[in-house]
Amino acid sequence: MPEYLLPSGTLLGAWAAAGLTLFIYSFLYKDNPLFKLGEHLYVGISVGYTVVLTWHTVFLRLLWEPLAKSVGEAPASPGSYLLLIPAALGLLMLARFIPKIAWLSRIAFAFVVGFGSGVAIPRVVSSYILKQIEDTVNPLLVRMDGGLSLGLDLAAPQSGINTVILLIGVVSVLFYFFFSVEHTGAGMVTARTGIYFLMIAFGAAFGYTVMSRMSLLIGRFRDLITFSGAAYGYATPILLGVTIVTLALWEMAVRRRAGP
Amino acid sequence: MKAFARRMIGIDRRIIFLLIAAATLLPLLQPFGLPIKVSPEVKAVYDHIEKLPERSVFLISFDFDPSSKPELEPQAVALLRHAFRKNLRVIGMTHWLTGTGLADGVFSTAAAEYGKVRGKDFVFLGWSPGGGALIIAMGQDLYTAFPSDYSKTPTRDMPVLEGVRNLRDVNYMISLAAGSSGIEMWYVFGKDKYRFEMAGGATGVIAPGLYPFLRSGQINGLIGGLQGAAEYETLIGQKGTAVAGMDAQSATHMVIIVLVILCNVFYFTLRGEKGRPA
Amino acid sequence: MIVASILLLLLTGGAAWAAPSALPPPEGFHALDTPNDAGRSLSLVWKASPSDSKDRTVQIWIGEGKGEGEFKIVADFPANTRYMKPGEFPFWAQPAGPGDHYLKLPSSKAFPIEDGKPYAVKLLVREGDQEVWSAVAQATSRADLFNTAQVNNLMFVLAFTGVLLASISAARRNPHVRLRRIAGLDAVDEAIGRSTEMGRPILYLTGAGDMSEVPTIAATTILGEVAKKVARYDTTLKVPHRDPIVMAVCQEIVKEAYIEAGRPDAYKEDSNFFITSDQFSYTAAVDGIMLREKPAANFFMGSYFAESLLLTETGASTGAIQIAGTDSDHQLPFFVTTCDYTLIGEELYAASAYLSREPVLVGTLRGQDFGKAFIMSALVLGTALATVGVIFQTEVFNYVLDFFRDFK
Amino acid sequence: MIFLKRQLPLAITFIMGIAFALQYYIPHPVSEEAITSVSKWMQIISGFALLLGVASLFHVHAVKIKRQVPGWGYSFVLYLGIFITILVGFWGKGEVKVDGAQTAFGWLYDYMMVPLQGTMFSILAFFIASAAYRAFRARSREASVLLIAAVVVMMGRVPLGQFLLPWTWDVTQWLLNVMNSAVRRAILIGVSMGSIALSLKIILGIERSYLGGGKEQ
């Protein structure tokens, strides 16, 4: 191996990374065998990865190790057998493989869904209702130098004028969500205001997100540029060529098959 | 005209993809270096390092992993360049196991640029578990928290750590964090107790949430996202990947804006046509 | 010599003048178990003094039992800090009076505090070379069984439960509640019809959440309604999953829907299938399904993250009718711009009521409307009261406003 | 039997729901412990359920291979991906690094999973542009305000935009701080009403479709 090249693990890694990156990008042209290859490999690896991680973090670390440890203690405390409950519920889930007793899995569903619903209620009230009301309710006037003033500074988020706009926004959008009130008359005006608020906010959020998405692309391109160096054995340009040629050949083959 | 507009409005989206790819790639290969407005919160970090005497101890914590690399790596590079140029003693570490290799690579490259020697001018301690507990341990005794550095050299008697017993002997520290917990944790368990000055660097997504810390003086400066990194590169006069990245950002944003304007021009050209266009 | 003696006189005399006879000891100092906490912590309260300044420091010394043993210093801070913060506690659970000094002393490595054991605490106030001790206060820490600061939260939950049950039973007696239109739901039939005509499948996604998340549950309920229609039209339904439990639940739901629609023969177990739980490989696979099987209608219900636009933009390129419904506010901009119809936020939860027109569900919507009306009035009245409070410089409205604050 | 099939699940839901709703109001360490351990239980249950998922995936692709549907060869690629990953994963005991040296599992993660993930994620950059071109048309007044807000924010975010139209930066801040928070707040409040109502109905056994249809009669 020539000396300027990187160690083989890194080198092979760079080729794999550059190749897979280009295969996935080929999807932007159209669905094609290279993308299918990348996609299926990706799904396979991710499933394998989840299985390995679940085995180690869930079965070994959360279930087996604590059980083995507490059972090994003499005398074992009754509380240490509590972990058998989720294990039993997990096994009930697997009852779905046997149609006759598949209904047993409902017990596990009930456990999961009941927990989720219960946990949600007070937390939703706290952070989505009380906290939101608390942040919205602000005095419209502030006391400054002994006098009262309505803050007209749009740039200060807490100013009086912004508090009013915020309040109008929250109320009108909330009104838009009313289901049992028809949007007619004054209701229509309020609901329309709500829609305008919604659209402006959605537009702003869309525009705001562009930057972070472009950062991702910059990151990928930068990696590809790195991999095109001599130390990486010119991985990017070579693989780019391979990708383009493969796509061209495939396109020709498809046309020939579709031809007369 | 209308035929043209009709064709353009239903343009093959692959042409748009090509435009975006070009607008990203070209500035990366050939940055045009648009002027960057430096914000006071980034300037504060720069000024503080600028004022430190030679051989002061600068601690930099890489609290991120490869998924935040595009934004935080340029920040790290710019900071290291500045510190090495000022002949500071640099200590590196990370709270994120998955970020260890990346952080070590950044260190090696920047040090090579300035001919700095591992163990004498800088040290990369690597990763150790514990989060907040690790910071407390470092505050009590650096050598029990990190008995050896990333390359397995014992830290005790390392020339770079001469006179450094614990976090109290650190002159300045910065946490480059991909989650708000990084900077908060350093403040709560570190700065608050061991009284060193600190700053923060963060991804664009979490930076806005850190302004309260800046206002209350818990951190003395804040570098936010790629923009912040570009500002820092401008300050040290070495325009690098972040400035190029911001050029690419400008270019792609403008491409999208121009596309939106054009599509509306085409749309209004067609609108006169019998009723409403599809 | 004379000058020197005058100077000396001035200096000593000046010092005697500057230092009052003694520092005042902290007034009203007492210790208590920190209210509404998980234990292992004490709270200290003492009155604020106008002479508190940043040059005067306060130290906290703590010892075990009644203070017969050794005291240890655990905190040290300027005397003009650690006040009761306005708004930190609701009026019904104030540990100290307004303006008092208040300090929570948690268990620490330096001095561990255990529940059920008495402790003695005293303050040392220092300024220059003067210092004065407070009286010794005693307290015992314990873990509490109910957080009284959150009583407003519980009241809200109970009241809303009452309203909900009342409106459900009202809807049972009189099921003819008028509901406003939701365009996205009118389009469901159109989408299914079109798929049938074109002989193409319908793709339905239940989002990124697991079965313990409410938007996922809503998505599965809507799936039941959609599956009933699909069964009647005899179209293919494809539901790729990211969570195996959600998949299992959806299999039950779809099966039941086919039975209810009288078409148990047409049900296929593998219309619900699992791909992977990883975000972007799932997305790649679903994009692949969209491009290869070209479904005529795509439904995106439940909670979504960055994958939303990757899914909808691919779906749009295949010309499918796309109907989305999500409460993930950060993804709504992308659904709204790329889908034909989007159920925004709460509309997702209302969808199954609209589709089934069952009195129970319709009654729920009415209950939700009452809840929103209540919150709307709280917002408007609250702002009015807060403003009046500023005008008349009174805190009296906090007795109302505190009910609408979130306390930890 | 009917009791076991219908009533028992409902009873479990009810008990779990009430218990963990009340848990929130109890600061006692026992209550804190309860929610931490039950959250772990949830992970264990989903761990078992993963077997259902993997079985389903295997089944779908086995059918593809058996019937030789177009593209069935890719199903082999998928199997290959799964088996190799599991193999190197168990071989390396699920660790990505041992004594600072990368394991084969770590290599697979760093050079295949991460780039694949990053690439799929970065496709958003292209799609956000094409979506903007298609959707940002001034078809109606609502669509117009949406597109204007988006364009202003895009200008205000980048150096070139701030240079050309300096006011866009301030307007961007205002749009995000005021307009966007108003809307998000209203959506959150509405959503919370819906989700509390649904949770309550589930706990009280009024909504039971998650058990497979069978509405309250």
Looking at residue B183, which CATH number applies to its domain? 3.40.50.620
Q: How many CB pairs under 8 A join A and D?
A: 380
Same structural domain, B174 and B152: yes
Q: Which residue of D has its CA nearest to B278?
A: D139
Query: Which chain B residues touch D138 with a CB distance below 8 Å?
Result: 264, 267-268
Of A43, A132, A201, the CB nearest to D81: A43
Residue C370 has pLDDT above 70, yes or no: yes
Cβ distance of D136 and B260 shorter than 8 Å: yes
Residue B211 pLDDT: 76
How far off is chain C from A180, nearest CA to CA, in Å? 5
Interface predicted TM-score (ipTM) of this complex, two decimals:
0.89
- Chain D window 12-31: which residues touch C at a Cβ cutoff of 8 Å? 21, 24-30
How far off is chain B from D190, nearest CA to CA, in Å? 24
Of B21, B98, B260, the CB nearest to D147: B260
Domains of chain C listed by start with CATH number? 24-140 (2.60.40.10), 177-357 (3.40.50)
Q: Does A109 touch chain C (CB under 8 A)?
A: yes
pLDDT classification of C318: cutoffs 50, 70, 90:
very high
> Per-residue DSSP letters for chain B?
-HHHHHHHHT--HHHHHHHHHHHHHHHHHS------PPPHHHHHHHHHHHHSPTT-EEEEEEE--GGGHHHHHHHHHHHHHHHHHTT-EEEEEES-GGGHHHHHHHHHHHHHHHT--BTTTEEEEEE-S-THHHHHHHHH-HHHH-SB-TTS-BSTT-GGGTT--SGGG-SEEEEEESSHHHHHHIIIIIIHHH--EEEEEE-TTTGGGGHHHHHTTSSS-EEEHHHHHHHHHHHHT---HHHHHHHHHHHHHHHHHHHHHHHHHHHHHHHTSSS---
**Helix, strand or coil, per DSSP, at residue C301:** strand
Q: Which residue of A has its CA nearest to C330?
A: A205
How far off is chain B from A103, nearest CA to CA, in Å? 42
Query: Which chain A residues touch D202 with a CB distance below 8 Å?
Result: 113-114, 117
Residue B104 has pLDDT above 90, yes or no: no
Residue D1 pLDDT: 67
8-state DSSP, C141:
B
Residue C50 has pLDDT above 90, yes or no: no
Task: Compute the average pLDDT of residues B67-91.
Answer: 92
B152: left (phi over 0), alpha (psi -120 to 50) or beta: left
Query: Which chain A residues touch C346 with a CB distance below 8 Å?
Result: 177
Mean pLDDT for all residues in chain D: 90
Disruptive mutation site among D210, D215, D217 for chain C (greatest number of C CBs within 10 Å): D210
Residue C371 has pLDDT above 90, yes or no: yes
Of A48, A208, A216, the CB nearest to D124: A216
Residue B244 has pLDDT above 80, yes or no: yes
What pTM, to 2 d.p., does this model score? Answer: 0.88
Which chains lie within 8 Å of chain C at 3 or more CB pairs, if any?
Answer: A, D
Residue A77 pLDDT: 67
How far off is chain A from D3, nearest CA to CA, in Å? 12
| Inside any domain, residue B277 | no
| Inside any domain, residue A117 | no
Cβ distance of B17 and A28 shorter than 8 Å: yes
Q: Which of B70-84, C202-216, C388-402 has the least mean pLDDT?
A: C388-402
Q: Does D96 touch chain C (CB under 8 A)?
A: no
| Nearest alpha-carbon partner for A250 in A44, A26, A39 | A26
Cβ distance of A28 and B28 shorter than 8 Å: no
Cβ distance of C252 and D54 shorter than 8 Å: no
| Inside any domain, residue B35 | no
| Nearest alpha-carbon partner for C284 in A187, A28, D48 | A28
| Inside any domain, residue B278 | no
Q: Which residues of chain D have pLDDT under 50?
A: 214-217
Residue D217 pLDDT: 34
Q: Which residue of C has its CA nearest to D113?
A: C281
Query: Which chain A residues touch C383 with a CB distance below 8 Å?
Result: 136-140, 163, 167
Q: Does B249 touch chain A (CB under 8 A)?
A: yes
| Inside any domain, residue A119 | no
| Inside any domain, residue B22 | yes
How far off is chain C from A234, nearest CA to CA, in Å? 28
Domain edges within chain D:
1-64, 70-135, 136-207
Query: Which chain B residues touch A221 with a CB distance below 8 Å?
Result: 24-25, 28
Q: For the segment C51-71, what is each residue's pLDDT rounded down to a tens digit?
A: 888 888 899 999 998 888 889
- Chain D window 159-178: which residues touch C at a Cβ cutoff of 8 Å? none
How far off is chain D from A107, nearest CA to CA, in Å? 5
Pick the residue with more confidence: A258 or C10? A258
| Inside any domain, residue B191 | yes
Q: What is the gyration radius of the CA atoms in chain B, in angstroms?
A: 23
Cβ distance of C220 and D120 shorter than 8 Å: no
Cβ distance of C348 and D194 shorter than 8 Å: yes
How far off is chain D from C165, nearest CA to CA, in Å? 9
Residue B96 pLDDT: 84
Residue B272 pLDDT: 66
Same structural domain, B120 and B228: yes
Q: Does D210 touch chain B (CB under 8 A)?
A: no
- Chain D window 80-139: which residues touch B at a Cβ cutoff of 8 Å? 96-97, 100, 102, 110, 114, 118, 125-126, 128-130, 132-134, 136-139
| Nearest alpha-carbon partner for B59 in B40, B83, B38 | B83
Give chain A's domain count.
Answer: 1
| Nearest alpha-carbon partner for C207 in C193, C218, C194 | C218
Residue C279 has pLDDT above 50, yes or no: yes
Disruptive mutation site among D44, D157, D193 for chain A (greatest number of A CBs within 10 Å): D44
User: What value, to the nearest 5°, has the Cα angle with vertex C383 and ends C377 and C388?
Assistant: 125
| Inside any domain, residue B276 | no
Of C180, C332, C380, the CB nearest to A202: C332
**Helix, strand or coil, per DSSP, at residue A221:** helix
Residue C356 pLDDT: 83
Residue B44 belongs to what domain range? 40-238
Same structural domain, B234 and B255: no
Cβ distance of D161 and B254 shorter than 8 Å: yes
Query: Which chain D residues touch B254 with a CB distance below 8 Å?
Result: 158, 160-161
Is-cis flag, bond preceding A75, omega within 30? yes
Residue C10 pLDDT: 47
* C133 beta partners: C124
Same structural domain, B104 and B24: no
Q: Does A144 touch chain B (CB under 8 A)?
A: no
Distance CA C225, CA C76 (A): 64
Query: Which chain D residues touch A162 with a CB distance below 8 Å?
Result: 174, 177-178
Q: Which residue of B has its CA nearest to D152?
A: B257
Residue D53 pLDDT: 95
Query: Which chain C residues touch D135 with a CB distance below 8 Å?
Result: 337-338
Residue A181 belongs to what domain range? 138-210
Query: Which chain D residues touch C39 with a CB distance below 8 Å?
Result: 28-29
Q: For the segment B15-63, what is each residue's pLDDT rounded down to a tens digit?
A: 999 999 999 999 999 888 788 888 888 999 999 999 999 999 999 999 9
Residue D162 pLDDT: 85
Give chain B's domain count.
Answer: 2
Q: Which residue of B has its CA nearest to D109?
A: B98
- What does each of the 260 residues of chain A score in pLDDT, given as a tens digit? 455 677 788 899 999 999 999 999 999 999 999 999 999 999 999 999 999 989 988 898 889 988 888 777 766 666 678 899 999 999 999 999 998 998 899 999 999 999 999 999 999 999 889 989 998 998 888 877 767 777 777 777 778 888 999 999 999 999 999 998 888 888 899 999 999 999 999 999 999 889 889 988 999 999 999 999 998 999 999 999 999 999 999 999 999 988 76
Task: Compute the average pLDDT of residues C306-333.
Answer: 95
Same structural domain, B22 and B102: no
Q: Which of A245-259, B151-165, C383-397, D96-110 has the least mean pLDDT?
A: D96-110
Residue A260 pLDDT: 60
| Inside any domain, residue A153 | yes
Residue whose token pair is 């208590």: C32
* B60 beta partners: B92, B174
| Nearest alpha-carbon partner for D129 in A211, C331, C336 | A211
Cβ distance of A43 and C346 shorter than 8 Å: no
Of B17, B37, B261, the CB nearest to D159: B37
| Nearest alpha-carbon partner for A242 in A93, A101, A85, A33 | A33
Residue C37 has pLDDT above 70, yes or no: yes
Query: Which chain C residues touch D189 with a CB distance below 8 Å?
Result: 372, 375
Buried b (16+ CB within 10 A) or exposed e, C244-281: bbbbbbbbbbbbbbbebbebeebbeeebbbbbbbbbbb
Residue C19 pLDDT: 47
Q: Does A216 touch chain C (CB under 8 A)?
A: no
